């Protein structure tokens, strides 16, 4: 059942229509939009790219007539992003849209002149990607979908769903942004009195061993950080969590449908659709440096009640009442 619908991103300042051009394609040439995605050629994890297309269509852009997409996909991995970003730069695309936060640093490293739109980013100021939310500076703007405090809030919700768990496991990827995520989760765990076990994974083959390690460490629940890897492997993650009787939380929107107990976060696909407005402004001459970065104003809590019942878990009424969607 659905209680509320999500929506809403807030900009820090007004989105100005700049009069100066910034890497505008020549008149008469169809602009080429590079898309740096964590999805796969099999279609998994491409919801953000499709949402971008939807947003562009709503603004009157017809693919093949008013724009072309050069799509580069990392197949759910982080390592290919620098090479994929460099390839888009070599192909002289007019603009790059980054659909996953983990690819933003690679895009920034690849070019300082081609405009970059972040359809999804995490802590862009803290990472040094932009100067500020109100005036990003440089060639990057877009949406800061994952903001400080989100990871700690996820840990709190998972704790609230369980009968006073004292130990939890966190599955993380490698990289600086993952360090930021884990630092926030660890701070939240300390406040909540939870002993945390952080387990690093790199490949799908690492997941069975990671869950075994979590059980050996006495974990009573498991959560993931964020990234295309966790989205691409959401079905396996949900299956392993159920196999080991571990209530789980994910930041990937489709994870609850796959069987994960809880999802909490912004509507990533809405953000990707919203990114089309930045593409539109930049193609019309807007300067990324002058376009404020938006942040979500609403977050969604999804509870898979089927999973809860299968685990013999009773979700507190207070948490059920706050859920935006319950899967029964």
- What digits encode the pLDDT tens for the residues 318-327? 999 999 999 9
Domain 150-265+300-327: give its CATH superfamily. Response regulator (3.40.50.2300)
More confident call, 87 vs 10: 87
Asked if residue 101 lies in contact with residue 143, where contact means CB atoms within 8 angstroms, the answer is: no
Where does the pLDDT of residue 17 fall: very low under 50, low under 70, confident under 90, or very high at 90 and above? very low
- Structure confidence by residue, pLDDT tens digits, 175-213: 888 998 999 999 999 999 999 999 999 999 999 999 999
Taking each helix axis from N to C end, the angle separating 176-192 and 150-161, rounded to the nearest 10 degrees, works out to: 50
257 has pLDDT over 60: yes
- Structure confidence by residue, pLDDT tens digits, 123-162: 898 888 999 999 999 999 999 988 788 999 999 999 999 9
288 has pLDDT over 90: yes
Closest CA to 55 of 290, 228, 279: 279
- How many CB atoms are closer than 10 A to CB 71? 17
Handedness of CA 206, 254, 278, 324 (dihedral sign): negative
Common-topology check for domains 9-146+267-296 and 150-265+300-327: yes
Query: Which burial class, exposed, middle or buried, applies to 216 when counting CB atoms under 10 A from its CB (0-12, 13-18, 19+)?
Result: exposed
Q: Residue 187: its pLDDT value, please?
A: 94
Please compute Rg for the chain using Cα positions: 20
Local structure of 143: helix, strand or coil: strand
Q: Residue 1: its pLDDT value, please?
A: 41
Rounded to two decimals, what is the model's pTM? Answer: 0.80
Mention every residue, 6+ apart, whose C-beta is less than 8 A from residue 144: 118, 121, 122, 123, 124, 125, 133, 293, 294, 295
Tokens of 319: 């948490």
286 has pLDDT over 90: yes
Q: Residue 14: its pLDDT value, please?
A: 41
Closest CA to 301 of 154, 101, 119: 154
Query: How far, in whole angstroms, is CA 87 from its chain's centroid?
Result: 23
Q: Sketch the domain layout of the chain as residue ranges.
A: 9-146+267-296, 150-265+300-327
- Structure confidence by residue, pLDDT tens digits, 235-250: 999 999 999 999 999 9
User: Which residues lie across from 141 on neighbouring strands?
Assistant: 117
Closest CA to 265 of 102, 126, 149, 105: 149
Tokens of 42: 């099999």
Where does the pLDDT of residue 120 fall: very low under 50, low under 70, confident under 90, or very high at 90 and above? confident
Taking each helix axis from N to C end, the angle separating 234-243 and 207-216, rounded to the nearest 10 degrees, works out to: 30
Query: What CATH fold (topology level) applies to the domain 9-146+267-296?
Result: Rossmann fold (3.40.50)
């Amino acid at each position: 059942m659905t209680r509320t619908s999500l929506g809403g991103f807030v900009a820090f300042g007004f989105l100005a229509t700049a009069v100066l051009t910034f890497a505008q394609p020549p008149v008469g040439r169809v602009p080429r939009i590079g898309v740096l995605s964590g999805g796969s050629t099999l279609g998994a994890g491409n919801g953000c790219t499709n949402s971008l297309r939807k947003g562009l269509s709503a603004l009157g852009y017809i693919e093949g007539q008013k724009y072309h997409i050069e799509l580069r996909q990392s197949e759910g991995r982080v390592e290919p992003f620098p090479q994929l970003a460099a390839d888009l730069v070599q192909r002289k695309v007019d603009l790059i849209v980054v659909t996953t936060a983990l690819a933003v640093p690679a895009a920034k490293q690849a070019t300082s002149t081609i405009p970059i739109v972040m359809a999804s980013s995490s802590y862009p100021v803290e990472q040094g990607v932009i100067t500020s939310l109100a005036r990003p500076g440089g060639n990057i703007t877009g949406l800061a979908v994952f903001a400080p405090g989100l990871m700690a809030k996820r840990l709190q919700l998972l704790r609230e769903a369980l009968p006073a768990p004292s130990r939890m496991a966190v599955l993380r990827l490698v990289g600086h942004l993952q360090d930021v995520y884990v630092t926030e989760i660890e701070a939240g765990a300390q406040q909540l009195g939870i002993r945390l076990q952080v387990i690093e994974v790199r490949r799908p083959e690492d997941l069975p061993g990671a869950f075994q390690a979590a059980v050996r460490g006495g974990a009573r629940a498991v959560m993931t950080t964020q990234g295309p890897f966790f989205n691409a492997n959401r079905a396996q993650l949900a299956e392993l969590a159920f196999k080991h009787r571990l209530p789980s939380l994910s930041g990937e929107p489709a994870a609850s449908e796959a069987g994960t107990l809880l999802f909490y976060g912004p509507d990533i696909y809405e953000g990707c659709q919203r990114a089309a407005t930045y593409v539109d402004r930049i193609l019309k001459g807007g300067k990324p440096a002058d376009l404020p970065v938006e942040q979500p104003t609403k977050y969604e809590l999804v509870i898979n009640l089927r999973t809860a019942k299968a685990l013999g878990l009773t979700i507190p009424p207070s948490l059920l009442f706050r859920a935006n969607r319950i899967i029964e």
